Structure formats: C-alpha cells, structure tokens
Copies of this chain bind each other. A is one copy, B any other.
Amino acid sequence: MTQRSTTRSTTRSATPGRRAGPEAAPTPLRPETRAEGFRQARHARRIELSEDYVELIGDLIRTVGEARQVDIAARLGVAQPTVAKMLKRLADEGLVLQRPYRGVFLTAAGEVLAERSRQRHRVVEAFLCALGVSAETARRDSEGIEHHVSDETLDAMRRFTARAGKASDGR
C-alpha cells in the first residue's frame, strides 16, 4: 500500500476532513455506497425486457384474445425475429409457453410477473399524470421509469396519487 490506490479510492472520503456544515457540499460519498445505485440500475436493466414482454403478452391475450409474434413486434417496435429469439429465452426461463403458430401463453410464473409489472407500470403512469405531466409524456416516460422504481418509491407514488385525486376530486 505505497501509492494512492485503495487508500484514496476507498478509505479516504469515508471520514472527510471537514465535517459537513449545514447545507455544505454533500459529503463525497463512499465509493461502495455510490456503486450501489449503479448496481441496482444494471440489475433493473437486466430484467426490464422480461417484464415488458410478459406484461404485453398478458395485455394482448386479454384484449385481442391471443399473443402472436407479429403483434408483439409491432407494439414493441422491433423486428419479428427479435421477438422470436426473446420468446425462446422467456420459455427457457419458464415465463411463457409457446404453442407453435398458435401464439404465446403465460405460465403461472409469467402471470405473476406480468401482473406485478402491470401494477407497477400503472402506478407510475398514474403518478406522473397526477404530478401534472401530459398523458402522452406519462405514457412514454413510465415505460422506462417503471423498471427503476423500488417498492418504497412506489408506495410514495401511490400515496401522492391518492392524495392528489382526493384533493382535486369533488371530495
């Protein structure tokens, strides 16, 4: 431990020389602490697609009666082979069941994930609307945001939306 290395990278800012005054620079943050956020975001990115797929498949089955690759592709804005490959992966993961040329179906596990995802998506979208964002923007932004919202934040959003609804409602 001769040069800078771990000392600076990890230990140094743990106990900063000057303690934070009121409203001072926000205390540099330990590297490990900072990494937590990035790790969480990377994890969310990894499962994002699965969530969007099962949610969309569930929607299609309910509204159209079946979920075909072409329809999934059209709604995701990707090419059909992209969907085919992804469905294979989802089948491997036990989230969907493919009946060739007869559409895709959700397994029990898929149904659970779909419902959880749909719920969260709805909360986020409704929240954005309650916050005063236009319906179009709420729809578009929520498609990405939903995957990065923890349960705690989701709860806060729910509370706010409910409050806002009560306030603007007749009562």
Using CB atoms and an 8 Å cutoff, list the residues of chain A in contact with chain B.
5, 8-10, 13, 28, 31-42, 44-45, 48, 52, 63-64, 70-71, 74-78, 128, 131-134, 137-145, 147-150, 152-153, 156-157, 159-160
Q: Is the CB of B152 within 8 A of A37?
A: no
Q: A35-B77, A156-B132 are in contact. Are A64 and B8 (CB under 8 A)?
A: yes
Q: Is the CB of B153 within 8 A of A40?
A: no
Q: A34-B75, A38-B76, A74-B9 are in contact. Are A156 and B144 (CB under 8 A)?
A: no
Q: A31-B71, A153-B137, A156-B131 are in contact. Are A144 and B76 (CB under 8 A)?
A: no
Q: How far is the CA of A160 from the CA of B139 in the complex (A)?
A: 20
Q: Is the CB of A153 within 8 A of B139?
A: no
Q: A31-B75, A131-B157 are in contact. Are A38 and B70 (CB under 8 A)?
A: no
- Pick 11 A–B contacts, CB within 8 A, sort by A: A33-B139, A36-B140, A37-B140, A38-B76, A38-B143, A39-B77, A131-B153, A131-B156, A131-B160, A141-B150, A145-B145
- Chain B: minimal CB distance from A20 (Å): 13
Q: Is the CB of A37 within 8 A of B142?
A: yes
